[in-house]
Homo-oligomer: A and B are copies of this chain.
């Protein structure tokens, strides 16, 4: 294993320590619960938005905490749902009179933990609701999921409800917006390599030197099929077609396109892939209004990418364009 890691058991806390000391003014860190939250949260006049999940998907979700996005994230260990008390304590700490919204990508383990924590917090008198995200078109069920998985399209839900919450929307309104965004967002990914969890120390699955996994999950779980590596044209067309045909997106639709890296693929290749997806969208008659190129939801050091399309209307376009301020930046 070739990684920047000390004791693999402490990989997540060591990462969160780095995140906390890099953002001393804007973030607070509670090591006991892997909890990263906005220094100014909770606010009495704003719904608090929390997302937990396993770690290994960074920047999702701990690096998406800040004004206009999440109020807090409480990740579990790598590829493991957070324990019940992480979520329950986070809800209690972030409780606002306007309520708490939990965003949960649709994985069985995460669903279970968040629903238990939601019920426990409600029993304490906290107003809290949960919104599930399931944008991955690759497979209907999976190793860890009943129904579709939540993957990189999750970013658009966070961004939209984050912007609306900042503008004062109440909990019902955020649920409406989040469900609407999720309903028009579709993603599919391809793995070029496996990923290596620090505590395992070796690749999570075997993939031949010339093999790829089409429709891979963000924990390396199987997708639609294995096949031989192909040209970027073929790979991007496979992802784009699966996504477009699923909603389906139709000529005249306003869209944003995301080319998301899975952790080990450089931004040069992501822009190349974005360009091909963009050209396919234009050829299909879609109106491309916004672009997203980079890493949004990763799978540790996996090489690969996913393509996400979201159908825009005026409301969604405005929420996506609203300002936000999170740790990820280049200047």
Instruction: Please list the residues of chain A having a beta carbon within 8 angstroms of any beta carbon in chain B.
Output: 1-6, 11, 14-23, 55-56, 58-59, 63-64, 68-69, 155, 159, 192-193, 209-210, 212, 229, 231-233, 235-236, 259, 263-276, 278-279, 288, 291-296, 298, 300-301, 303, 305, 320, 324, 326-331
Write out the residue numbers on chain B whose beta carbons fall within 8 Å of the beta carbon of A265.
3-4, 301
Chain B residue at minimum C-beta to C-beta distance from A163: B331
Chain B nearest CB from A157 CB (Å) reads 12
Q: How far is the CA of A148 from the CA of B11 in the complex (A)?
A: 34
Q: Is the CB of A15 within 8 A of B268?
A: yes
Q: Is the CB of B4 within 8 A of A269?
A: yes
Q: Is the CB of A192 within 8 A of B3?
A: yes
A22-B278, A56-B268 as given contacts; A232 in contact with B15, CB under 8 Å: no
The 26 sampled A-B contact pairs (Cβ below 8 Å) are: A2-B192, A4-B232, A4-B269, A4-B273, A5-B232, A6-B233, A11-B272, A15-B271, A15-B272, A18-B259, A18-B274, A18-B275, A21-B275, A22-B274, A22-B275, A22-B293, A56-B268, A59-B330, A63-B271, A64-B330, A155-B330, A155-B331, A267-B298, A296-B330, A301-B303, A324-B331
Q: Is the CB of B233 within 8 A of A19?
A: no
A58-B268, A63-B267, A298-B266 as given contacts; A6 in contact with B231, CB under 8 Å: yes
A59-B267, A235-B4, A265-B4 as given contacts; A18 in contact with B330, CB under 8 Å: no
Given A3-B192, A5-B269, A264-B301, 20 new contacts (CB under 8 A): A2-B193, A4-B232, A4-B236, A4-B305, A6-B232, A6-B233, A11-B272, A18-B278, A21-B279, A22-B271, A22-B275, A22-B291, A22-B293, A56-B268, A58-B268, A59-B267, A64-B330, A159-B331, A267-B328, A269-B301
